[in-house]
Structure 1
């Protein structure tokens, strides 16, 4: 506050199990209370569906008295909001019970629990995210009310993967994104033109701090939304906004360091460690899929030939698989987890990945052989569900979700996904009506 005496407002931000950011606006002088005592929110904010409606099955709403908890500011996440109309700050919050205990169904607290469990074993995850998104032209109608991706209406279909002209065309926007990221201490690395009109990817640098890496994702999405609006555009991280174009993925690069900062995947001994991690990630992948693809729409992205994986397989230097071991030096050997949609909850995604990595390093089982060539043509490996209900059934039948999220958050998450499925089942689509009327 001393360094920013002009501040008038603060936006208190928290992330629900669906990965949706919720919160409230408050006067800037309430920041001190947020750090010291916490801001009151109903704990049932973690029991809302994707549309922000109460899901009674979670047990968090009126049947429990809909009690408040305290949501305290997360140190290191306080920053200015460059695109705000008046001088405004923002800060992430984490939840506590009225008794002062960390809220066990707050996804950030859950990831903190796993990170501490790894630290007790002398293990420290080093992770980085890559996020794809589309820039859209408001006021256009590409498909049933969906705005057109930028460039899609200006002549022949333009894919222009890795094209520099598209980056230059929106250079002012990307400059604003980088400036906002610098102001908010987000470590942006590269920005790339991706595989469809108007599709881009932002890569974040590695952090040996999973909580901050997940925070980076939440804040990056917010930066892209805000800067796009400033430039008269709309951004979407929706996993599959267009049937005819590539979906938006969230790729996670993960390695594990020991107490001396050495990569436990390096060297000959590291290959055995890496094999154990791959084996457990593959084994748990079907029942964890709903943690990586958390929306009804996200399962539309799981299509052969789309660079979104359809089978629980791995390989080195191969982008058709679910788990890729990128080409790198031994010291930088890591797993690239390629399943999650760009709209997934990054805390929950990391909970699933890091829990499997921790278990894999303890079991050190032998992974299945790596695939060669086109993984979509491999008919021997397990097919991943392309349907949200089937994915939920696999999650409910297994125990991994409860292990990764803890029983409280796991129950709420499954209740929310069941409510989402039922909502889509209750909707009759225009295609059905035009077909069967």
Structure 2
């Protein structure tokens, strides 16, 4: 274990040049010297890449940054280089400069040894001795939309809800995972939605999730037993800081996974692990506040008009951005009628069958709930697409179609595609995506998803062997 003196010396030396290193010094003073600092860089898919850095060198993270190849954002979901992107060895595979995200340095409660973690964001050298944001880092795509809204005097207030399954370790029969049933379960598999007994059955694990969130400063709110055996949901409080809200969602997934492993089970954020049970979603609640912090959606007639413009923009851009909300081959299996996952391009008031819901509540809590994203989606990209869609509606003064009431699955409305290839083509050919995310990001993301889709289409599934062999 590095000596605290070494940590303190490194921190003090770096602090003379960069006051941000005081964050690490304050951490050491509060928690002691970590053996390692886990630096976390979410890639294009939301998969965490990074390094373990000795605690004695931790202060350098804030002074010098962390060198990681720029091409980390050209890896597929399996961590392999997608050569067609043109950002790997043909560029010399240059390093980017990763800077720590302020406020994300926390202990790792589930680690067997003293460890800290911090999230990173990537920059590239600008050729003049400085650096600029790396255009393929999803974090910068969200920052751009936040800045556009700020120029209009509007600021997103955001909360994420994350659903997940608890699974037995290892593969079950035929390679299919098995959910962890509560000990009190009896009879055939059942929903048992909002079950208190299912919460009680996993109380030690769920309380450890809440305690880890407290230690890490993550604003965890409600815990729910969801619509399938072994499925749960953890909600996060609203933040008037969109970047921090997306960071919370990334870090909460890591926390749940780490605590679950410590309890001998697996946590899965796969969008549709079981055909017969509900999929796992990532619902995003968004309101817009003015410069004084008041909810702009709650400002009487003007607020209603602003909310309608935002809803219209979300519906109008939904086809083009669907692959950001549903980025996986498996995720399109979740979009089935009657599943509480939306299948139509629709909106409504207090209606969980639509894609964009306006929950009940007083004017000060008026917000939009975006219900399309799977739990495996990248929170920064999901939120960037949502905000860009809302901006599109505001800037064009768009009006939505009439809100749907009742069972939206049985009503006339444009449908979301169930086909990943179609969603990729819509994304890659969209003028809106090029404007909101940049042509280069659009190109690289589409290439990576095309390669991912091709990998699945080259596989022969078990049912084909059972049927035709």
Question: TM-score band (shorter)?
Answer: over 0.9
- Describe the SS at the equivalent of 1:49: coil
1:31 offset after TM fit, Å? 2.2
* Number of equivalent positions: 435
Q: Structure 1, residues 372-429: CA drift from partner, whole Å, max 9, x if none?
A: 2100001x31110011001111112322222332223222211110110111111111
Paired residues of 2:82 and 2:451 also in contact (CA < 8 A):
yes
Q: Does 1:108 align with 2:145?
A: no
2:305 to 272, 276, 297: 272
Tell me how far apart the structure 2 counterparts of residues 7 and 413 of structure 1 sit (CA, whole Å): 36
2:220 to 182, 188, 209: 188
Tell me how far apart the structure 1 counterparts of residues 58 and 444 of structure 2 sit (CA, whole Å): 30
Tell me how far apart the structure 2 counterparts of residues 119 and 287 of structure 1 sit (CA, whole Å): 24
Q: Does 1:388 align with 2:420?
A: yes
Q: Relative to structure 2, which stretch is displaced further, 390-399 or 252-261?
A: 390-399
Paired residues of 2:193 and 2:228 also in contact (CA < 8 A):
yes
Q: Does 1:323 align with 2:356?
A: yes
| Cα RMSD (Å) | 1.3
Aligned to 2:254: 222
Tell me how far apart the structure 2 counterparts of residues 58 and 218 of structure 1 sit (CA, whole Å): 25
1:329 offset after TM fit, Å? 0.6
Structure with greater Cα Rg: 2
1:436 offset after TM fit, Å? 2.3
- Structure 2 unaligned residues grouped into runs of 5+: 1-27
1:139 offset after TM fit, Å? 4.8
Paired residues of 1:164 and 1:193 also in contact (CA < 8 A):
yes
1:292 to 305, 309, 325: 325
1:117 to 148, 159, 176: 148
1:24 offset after TM fit, Å? 1.0
Aligned to 2:85: 58
- Structure 1 unaligned residues grouped into runs of 5+: none
Q: Relative to structure 2, which stretch is displaced further, 77-86 or 396-405?
A: 396-405
Q: Structure 1, residues 180-232: CA drift from partner, whole Å, max 9, x if none?
A: 11111100110000000000000000001111001001110011001101111
Q: Does 1:343 align with 2:373?
A: no
Paired residues of 1:40 and 1:68 also in contact (CA < 8 A):
yes
Q: Structure 1, residues 94-115: CA drift from partner, whole Å, max 9, x if none?
A: 0010231111111112211211
Tell me how far apart the structure 1 counterparts of residues 164 and 221 of structure 2 sit (CA, whole Å): 16
Q: Relative to structure 2, which stretch is displaced further, 402-411 or 71-80?
A: 402-411
2:335 to 264, 279, 302: 302
Paired residues of 1:35 and 1:74 also in contact (CA < 8 A):
no
Paired residues of 1:186 and 1:216 also in contact (CA < 8 A):
yes
1:140 offset after TM fit, Å? 6.3
2:396 to 339, 363, 372: 363
Paired residues of 1:348 and 1:405 also in contact (CA < 8 A):
no
Q: Structure 1, residues 154-198: CA drift from partner, whole Å, max 9, x if none?
A: 542132110111111111111111111111110011000000000
TM-score for the superposition, normalised by structure 1: 0.97
Q: Structure 1, residues 20-63: CA drift from partner, whole Å, max 9, x if none?
A: 11111110123222112210001100000000000011111011
Paired residues of 1:237 and 1:248 also in contact (CA < 8 A):
yes
2:115 to 64, 70, 88: 88
Tell me how far apart the structure 2 counterparts of residues 404 and 176 of structure 1 sit (CA, whole Å): 40
Q: Relative to structure 2, which stretch is displaced further, 394-403 or 216-225?
A: 394-403
Tell me how far apart the structure 1 counterparts of residues 73 and 149 of structure 2 sit (CA, whole Å): 26
Aligned to 1:243: 275
Tell me how far apart the structure 2 counterparts of residues 275 and 207 of structure 1 sit (CA, whole Å): 22
Q: Relative to structure 2, which stretch is displaced further, 365-374 or 302-311?
A: 365-374
2:386 to 349, 353, 369: 353
Aligned to 1:150: 180
Aligned to 2:59: 32
1:6 offset after TM fit, Å? 3.6
TM-score for the superposition, normalised by structure 2: 0.91
Q: Relative to structure 2, which stretch is displaced further, 391-400 or 332-341?
A: 391-400
Paired residues of 2:33 and 2:55 also in contact (CA < 8 A):
no
Paired residues of 2:313 and 2:391 also in contact (CA < 8 A):
no
Which structure has the higher relative contact order (CA within 8 Å, separation 6+)?
1
- Structure-to-structure mapping, 1:208-219, within 5 angstroms: 208-219=240-251
Tell me how far apart the structure 1 counterparts of residues 196 and 136 of structure 2 sit (CA, whole Å): 43
Q: Does 1:372 align with 2:405?
A: yes
Paired residues of 1:250 and 1:338 also in contact (CA < 8 A):
yes
Tell me how far apart the structure 2 counterparts of residues 404 and 220 of structure 1 sit (CA, whole Å): 27
Tell me how far apart the structure 1 counterparts of residues 433 and 186 of structure 2 sit (CA, whole Å): 47
